[in-house]
Structure formats: structure tokens, C-alpha cells
Amino acid sequence: MKIDNKYLPIFISVALGLGVVLGGLLNAPNQSQFFAKNSSKNKLNKLIDFIDDEYVDNINTDSIVSLTVDNILAKLDPHSVYIPPSEQAEVVESMKGDFVGIGVNFYMYNDSVAIIKPVENGPSAKAGIKAGDRILYADKTKLFGRKLPNDSLFSKLKGSVGSEIELTLYRKSERKKIKLKVKRDVIPLKSVDISMLLKNNTGYIKINRFAETTYGEFKTGLDALKKQGAKSLIIDLRDNGGGYMEEAIAIADELLKDKQLIVFTKNKKGNIDKTFATERGSFESGNVFVLINENSASASEILAGAIQDNDRGTIVGRRSFGKGLVQREMDFEDGSAVRLTIARYYTPTGRSIQKPYSKGNDAYFKESDTRFVNGELYEKDSIKVSESLKFKTKKGKIVYGGGGIVPDVFVPLEVEHGNETTAYLLQSGVVGHFVFEQLDKNRSVFNGLTFQQFTAKMDETDLYFNAFQKYIFDNGLDLKFGKSKSLAKRYLAAEFARQLYGEKFYYEIALKEDAMIKAVLNQK
């Protein structure tokens, strides 16, 4: 069944909204709390026990409890949520910043586990596994010809540090089966995708989420950029749904002077907790630019707000998501958890950037759809802000609360109004799968090419663009790129570069004509 193109932005925005929930739920450190004893709680416990002991049929009371918790939290706010054990384990792993495994990027392609690329210097790469290999067996467990869910695959490939697994592979390029033994090791889950020097001594750091290791990764990248001569810094927070508040604060501390206010929180009792910068900042004087868009949320907004309100730098892009709530986690013995909103946070000028949620969770997450309709993603004048929520920085700049961070320099979507699907599609996993399948057909056409030769080859041909157009049509999306052809070719070339040469080369191509990067460089 084909998806009507006009509805796809809605599906995409809902999916991204869910990403904001998971990314933004971790604004406070994990802490265990206990429910106070009261008559309502006793009533609930008695009812569950009564059903468990006396109900005529066998009932899984765990599912009843989960449903009850969901219903209770649905009456609160969109970010107070129950996380079942399976999802909680994934979130904890992602935010921890590493896991133990064999170190491969893969996906199920034609009912086989296809290796997109081994993690650089990871166990699989050291053992000799190559991009394009298929994993047929993990020890004696058959992996091909079965529709295995990702969690089952991960469980087969994960294990303890130093444990060994024998993989039976099919190497298509050599048309043969091979067996390799791989020793599992700690695999980092990077929250900083790249740090690199652009022209004009401008450093660039891309942060995809705020996990336990984010500040350390950021500081390593910043120190390296300073050694390379960076005098200005771009921090890219586009599509960053948030994470640990403390990591965003630590990064802000590197950029702000001693005793400048970073953020403050206020709980139901009116207690205010202020967090200030310390003396440790290592980049307190160079130009700072923060890139945001409609999917930048939570901890991303804390960092952007601290920079904007302290007149420390320039916010570039489009209005951010608008999440100004702080959660605390309560873990349960079965591995599930509840994350409950315990406070609101405010930027240094005193503004709350939390958007309204009084109309319910569905309306809250679908608010992003209105930005497509009202033209906000194309014209700054279309951003609706309340004059009653106007604030001033110390230097007199006007900033607004009530629904996200409004950028100082507005940059519209790089596609024409009505073709928003293109922009999101080109940065989705669809492109990665398409590129893998193209390489899988004939990887040898790129053998021996330098990066410069590769870019020239991609510039001069429409072969892959035309193939991609057919690919998405065959997969149920009737989408014409039209004026966005050059944008599509850029992202296709960038993904080919990532899979052939590595992450750095993806960004070298993707950022070359990036509208927000151009806006920054034009500011200087």
C-alpha cells in the first residue's frame, strides 16, 4: 500500500515526537523514590490482590498494573511516562554510552544479517569482518532465512567482555563462506558524531544526544579543535531530543564565565535550584554558534538557552521543540521504570520554554504539524510568540518563552513548502539501506578511488539519484524531488562516503552546502 505523500510529515513528526520523549526524559539523575502510603494506594493494591486471588480466569496482573500506571501518568503531562522493562533496558544502554558486543552496524536484508560497516577498531574489524558480509550463524544458531527481531539478534551477538563467539559468514565479493572467531569487547555508543575544523578557523561539533559520556566526548573534541587553531565554534544540536541535564550544564560551563547563571529549576513547593558556571571554562571568549531545529529539545534547549540568555553566542536555525520539564526516575524490580516530572526549568532570563500541553498528549506531540501548515519552517515572521512572555538579556536582546527557543538567525528548511517529506527522508535510515544495497550490487566500482575522485564521480552522475527515486517509489512512497534534486544528491553522496570511507567524510559532504553552516560562515 502506498502512503499518501501529504500524510507522511505527520507520521514523521509523530515518530520524532516519540524520540523527544525518550531523549528528553532523562533531565535528572536516576534516583529511586517510594510511593507514600495512603488510602488510594491501599485500595489499588487490594484490588490487584483480589483479582489475582479470586478472579475466575487466569489473568496476568502485571499487564493490568502496567495499564493502570499508564492511565495514571496520562493524566499528568506528556513527559511523565511508564517505561516497560524491554524499552528501559535499551534506553539505559543508550544513555550509558557503551555496551559489550562484537562491534558491527547491520540490518536485516532479504532475511539475512547484512553488515553495513564494522565499527572502526572494534572486535569485528580486528577479526577481519568486512562491509557486505552476511552472518549466517552465531556459534551454532542459524540467523539467516528467519525474520528475527533486532532484540533477538543483539542478544546473540552481545556477551561479556573477552567472551568469544564463532561467526559463520558469507562473503559475497569472494563468493565463499568463512568462519571467524570474535572476542567481544566494550563498544562505545558515541553521542558526539564528529568534531572537525571547517574553514575560517571554525570548529564544528555535532551532538546527537546528552548521555553519560557526552561532556567527555565534547571536551576531547573541543581540545583537539583548539589545537588545530579553532577560534570560533559551531555546536550542532539539530534533531537532538535531549538527555542528561548535567551533561548540557557541563558543556555550557566550558563556554560561560565564572558565576554566570546556566539554568534554574523550580519544584511544586517553589524551591529554586540555581546552577552557575565555574572557573573551569576552556572556551570563554571565541565566537559560539548553536544550531537548532524543531526537533531539538530538553537538554539541547538548556544549552541553547544558556548561550542565548547570557549573550554568549548566536542561535541559528528554527524554533526548538519546547520541553522545559525535569524528570526523576523510579526503578521497579522487574526492570521497568517510571519517569515523573518533578520540576520546571528556566533559562537565565527566567523564561520557561515549555510549550502548552493542556489539550492532551496527542495534541502536544502533533503541535509540530502546525509548523508545516502555518509556514513557520519557512518564514521567521510566522513564528507565533506571546508578547506577554517577552524577556530581555543583559545586553537588551529580546527573547521569548512559552514554546521553545526562537533562534537569533532564522534558517528555513532546504526544501520548498509542501515538500517537507524530502528533508526528513534524506536524513532517515532509508538512505542508508538504499546505499548499502547499491554497494552490495557492485562495491568494486569504488575500489581504489581517492576521496576526491569519489566526490567527482558522484557529482557528475545521476545514476544513484535516479535509482533512489525508483527505490522509494517501489517501497510505497510516491515522492518527486523536483527542485530538491541537488539536496538529494548531496545526502546520497554523503551516505556513500560514510559507508565507504567513514563518518568524517559523511560530514565533509553533508555540510559543504548546508544552509545553517552557510548562515554561520556569513555571520563572520
31 grid coordinates: 534516583
Q: Give percent above pLDDT 90 in the chain.
A: 62
User: Is pLDDT above 80 for 7?
Assistant: no
Q: Which residue has the higher pLDDT, 387 or 319?
A: 319
Task: Place 8 in a pLDDT band, splitting at 50, 70 and 90.
Answer: very low
Task: Place 162 in a pLDDT band, splitting at 50, 70 and 90.
Answer: very high
Residue where the block lists cell 490482590? 49
pLDDT (tens digit per residue) in 65-85: 888 888 888 889 999 999 988
User: Is pLDDT above 70 for 352?
Assistant: yes
User: Is pLDDT above 80 for 417?
Assistant: no
Task: Place 380 in a pLDDT band, splitting at 50, 70 and 90.
Answer: confident
User: How far is residue 367's CA from residue 449's CA, in Å, rounded to a whole number?
Assistant: 46
pLDDT-wise least confident of 26-30, 127-131, 378-382: 26-30
Q: Give percent above pLDDT 70 in the chain.
A: 91
pLDDT-wise least confident of 266-275, 300-309, 368-377: 368-377
Q: Which of 419, 371, 500 is nearest to 8 (CA)?
A: 419
pLDDT (tens digit per residue) in 211-260: 999 999 999 999 999 999 999 999 999 999 999 999 999 999 999 999 99
User: How far is residue 390's CA from residue 392's CA, in Å, rounded to a whole number?
Assistant: 7
Task: Place 151 in a pLDDT band, splitting at 50, 70 and 90.
Answer: low
User: How far is residue 274's CA from residue 265's CA, in Å, rounded to a whole number?
Assistant: 7
Q: Which of 235, 171, 175, 169 is nearest to 202 (CA)?
A: 235
pLDDT-wise least confident of 89-93, 99-103, 410-414: 89-93
Run of H or E residues at 328: strand 325-331
Q: Which residue has the higher pLDDT, 19 or 222?
A: 222
User: Is pLDDT above 90 for 89?
Assistant: no
User: How far is residue 495's CA from residue 513's CA, in Å, rounded to a whole number?
Assistant: 15
Q: Which of 218, 213, 238 is nearest to 95 (CA)?
A: 213
352: number of Cβ within 10 Å: 17
Decide: 168 and 136 in contact? Cβ < 8 Å. yes
Question: In this predicted structure, what is the pLDDT of residue 6?
Answer: 42
Task: Place 203 in a pLDDT band, splitting at 50, 70 and 90.
Answer: very high
Task: Place 304 in a pLDDT band, splitting at 50, 70 and 90.
Answer: very high
Name residues whose C-beta falls within 8 Å of residue 397's C-beta, 6 or more positions apart in sequence.
308, 311, 408
Decide: 16 and 23 in contact? Cβ < 8 Å. no
User: How far is residue 512's CA from residue 502's CA, in Å, rounded to a whole number?
Assistant: 16
Q: Which of 373, 380, 223, 372 is nearest to 316 (CA)?
A: 380
328-333 — which CB contacts under 8 Å span 24+ positions? Answer: 328/28, 328/31, 328/33, 329/26, 329/28, 329/30, 329/31, 329/32, 330/31, 330/32, 330/33, 330/34, 331/30, 331/32
Mean pLDDT computed over 323-348? 93
Judged by DSSP in three states, 57 sits in coil
161: number of Cβ within 10 Å: 9
User: Is pLDDT above 50 for 174?
Assistant: yes
Q: Which of 512, 206, 300 is nearest to 308 (CA)?
A: 300
Decide: 488 and 465 in contact? Cβ < 8 Å. yes
User: How far is residue 424's CA from residue 89's CA, in Å, rounded to a whole number?
Assistant: 28
Question: In this predicted structure, what is the pLDDT of residue 150?
Answer: 67
Residue where the block lists cell 573534541? 221
Q: What is the mean pLDDT of the chain?
A: 88
User: How far is residue 435's CA from residue 117's CA, in Å, rounded to a whole number?
Assistant: 12
Mean pLDDT computed over 177-189? 93
